[in-house]
């Protein structure tokens, strides 16, 4: 095989891997959105945060699928970073809610006992981590993306 053929095959593999990662993001977004809607995760402003992020993420993912240009990839990066931040915020909010509930039921709980009760509480403490995980997969998709090269950036700005 020639050097040019190896470059072509490596490029094809990289493109295929990127497509798989983007498909995983789309599947993750659709699954999380469906789950939150089925659970009625709409009772307060804080519960709407992941829904809004996921809806925006759906449109951004589709834009990148069909028009993977410099601007759509950059916007996608920001939205995927917001997935990570919303996931971390969700972990905190779920944990805090479970701590409050545990203290109502067990007023004397403290230390590791309280942490354990909060982690195993009614609200799934680690569930928002799935949102952060989807965001990280999206950010991996954009790593060294050809549309973000210096030449591509210059073409869109000019």
Q: Which backbone phi and psi does 67 adopt, to 5 degrees? A: -140, 70
Name the pLDDT band for 14 (thresholds 50, 70, 90): confident
Q: Are 81 and 137 in contact (CB under 8 A)?
A: no
How would DSSP label each residue in 22-70? HHHHHHHHHHHHHHHHHTT--SSHHHHHHHHHHHHHHHHHHHHHH---H
Please name the residue that has the structure tokens 């990289």. Answer: 14
Domain that holds residue 51: 3-157
SS3 152: helix
Tokens 């990280």, located at residue: 136
Question: pLDDT at position 149, please?
Answer: 86
pLDDT of residue 122: 86
Residues 73/145, Cβ–Cβ less than 8 Å: yes
Mean pLDDT of the chain: 90
Is the pLDDT higher at 3 or at 5?
5
Mean pLDDT across 43-69? 96
Q: Which residue do the tokens 């990570």 mark?
A: 84
Specify the number of domains making up the chain: 1
């Amino acid at each position: 095989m020639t050097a040019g053929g190896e470059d072509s095959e490596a490029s094809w593999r990289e493109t295929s891997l990127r497509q798989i990662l983007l498909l995983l993001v789309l599947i993750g977004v659709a699954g999380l959105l469906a789950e939150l809607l089925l659970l009625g995760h709409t009772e307060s402003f804080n519960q709407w945060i992941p829904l809004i992020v996921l809806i925006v993420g759906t449109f951004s993912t589709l834009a990148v699928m069909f028009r993977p240009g410099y601007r759509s990839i950059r916007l996608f990066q920001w939205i995927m970073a917001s997935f990570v931040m919303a996931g971390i915020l969700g972990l905190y909010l779920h944990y805090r809610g479970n701590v409050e509930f545990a203290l109502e039921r067990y007023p004397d709980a403290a230390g590791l006992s309280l942490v354990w009760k909060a982690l195993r509480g009614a609200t799934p403490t680690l569930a928002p981590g799935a949102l952060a995980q989807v965001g990280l997969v999206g950010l991996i998709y954009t790593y060294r993306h050809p549309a973000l090269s210096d030449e591509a950036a210059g073409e869109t700005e000019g």
